[in-house]
Amino acid sequence: MKLNRRDMIHGYSAKKIRDFLGHGRNGAFSYSDYCKAEIFFEVADDHFGRDAKAVTAELLRRGWILRGWSRDLKECTEDQNTAIMILTQTGKQSRIVSLNKRFSRADGEAVVAELVERAKAINVSVAAFFDGPLSKNFDGLPASASRGL
């Protein structure tokens, strides 16, 4: 199961976990779907401090990351025996998940109705401004009449 906005992993919010997985520039998997194990653990220490091992263990248990070797990668051109951490498909989905609160249809329709009412009120006040006593042009006609409105 991918990351949910209500998830807490070892006391850390979903946003903190998502950012660690690579959503932000400083995440472990910011530039690819794998990274060297030593870099992974450095980033984990930066994000979670003393809890880095516990959070990593939970991510492994959930199946979001895997331990591996560089030889497991098709594009490996360096040392074949380098320990790496690999994002799984669920980990990749969790890395890019939106954590914004969902908008119900009823809430959306209420917001749109309020916006339409505000626009109508603005249009009435603008029309009153242009057709008011100060809006007469030199011919004595309303300014809107001379503009073709």
**What confidence tier does 113 reach under pLDDT thresholds 50, 70, 90?**
very high
Mean pLDDT score, 39-55? 87
14-28, 37-51, 70-84, 126-140: range with highest mean pLDDT = 37-51
**What confidence tier does 137 reach under pLDDT thresholds 50, 70, 90?**
low
Q: Where are the domains positioned within the chain?
A: 8-96, 105-146
Closest by Cα among 6, 7, 5 to 59: 7
**How, if at all, do strands 34-36 and 65-69 pair?**
unpaired
Q: Give the chain's end-to-end CA distance (angstroms, integer).
A: 59
- pLDDT tens column, 2-37: 777 777 888 888 888 888 887 555 566 766 777 778
CATH of domain 8-96: 1.10.10
